[in-house]
Homo-oligomer: A and B are copies of this chain.
Amino acid sequence: MSLDKRIESALLKALSPEALGECPPLLATALPYGVFPGGARIRPTILVSVALACGDDCPAITDAAAVALELMHCASLVHDDLPAFDNADIRRGKPSLHKAYNEPLAVLAGDSLLIRGFEVLADVGHVNSDRALKLISKLGQLSGARGGICAGQAWESETKVDLAAYHQAKTGALFIAATQMGAIAAGYEAEPWFDLGMRIGSAFQIADDLKDALMSAEAMGKPAGQDIANERPNAVKTMGIEGARKHLQDVLAGAIASIPSCPGEAKLAQMVQLYAHKIMDIPASAERG
């Protein structure tokens, strides 16, 4: 099974009607609406790739970790689109969840998706309780108030913002979760995988800032220029377009160099290189939509 199919199949199973049981009808369709069709599934792809590089000796644990991480990411997007945050009408080329359903269901769908992630991890505790507990702990740490994505979003309510702390928590956290959870799922120590996740996260944030400044809404499937419109901290604002582009190259080179020693190290380096080329494929200039 390809990586993509493996991840989609695990996600579908976690949100199947059988899995959702006594869920009210609208919420039962709102949950898959917030998850399918997905974006690039970049976080679970990194997670499974790291697990494979480390031997992937418990595929059920790896699948659960990938599902929990992607559900957390999708939950954050659903909440992020709410009128109180980005007030985005469009997500992944279709109406955002609160537009397609309503605002209460969007809040509840976000809550339910992230809760489901923790459940899925607890459910594989019988396969390996130590790894399942470490994964729950790691996901909690990198999604909550202690430097996780909630902390990242919350920086936007502060009058004085530390750009590095903001980026690391808001975007970096779930990339760090991707590499560290991949390692834990395969029985490896999490700590050596921090740097790779952090660097990939930084690269995506810088790339996102560049895209946001350069590309049209149509090409991105969501409203462009949001960061500037909302006066958020932004790498392009701090370093200029060329400065941000150069910084992105350095960060990606550093990411590849930071891959810890593991059986599938070379293959993993190739994969990151491939994504690096994909990320760097940003037009030098573009018409605003």
Contacts and interface: CB of A to CB of B under 8 A. Distances in A.
B108 A154 contact: yes
Contact of A146 (B23, B108, B165): B23
Contact of A84 (B21, B31, B107, B157): B107
A102 to B, nearest CB: 6
B136 A169 contact: no
A146 B21 contact: yes
Interface string A113-136: 011101101110100011011101
Interface string A90-107: 000000000001111101
A115 B144 contact: yes
A235 to B, nearest CB: 19
Contacts of A115: 114, 140, 143-145, 148, 150
A201 to B, nearest CB: 15
Contacts of A27: 145, 150-151, 154, 157
A24 B136 contact: no
A22 B165 CA distance: 9
Interface string A28-56: 10110000000000000000000000000
Contact of A23 (B26, B110, B125, B151): B151
A82 interface: yes
A265 interface: no
Interface in A247-273: none
A153 B108 CA distance: 8
Contacts of A216: none
Contacts of A22: 146-147, 151, 165, 169
A118 B130 CA distance: 15
A227 interface: no
Nearest to A165: B22
B129 A23 contact: no
Contacts of A141: 119
A24 B155 contact: yes
Given A84-B102, A119-B137, 20 more contacts: A21-B147, A22-B146, A23-B147, A24-B158, A25-B158, A26-B158, A75-B111, A102-B157, A111-B114, A112-B150, A112-B154, A115-B145, A115-B148, A116-B140, A116-B145, A118-B118, A119-B136, A119-B141, A119-B144, A125-B136
19 contacts: A23-B151, A24-B155, A79-B108, A79-B111, A85-B104, A104-B156, A108-B150, A111-B144, A112-B151, A115-B140, A115-B145, A119-B141, A122-B134, A122-B136, A123-B137, A125-B137, A132-B133, A133-B133, A136-B136
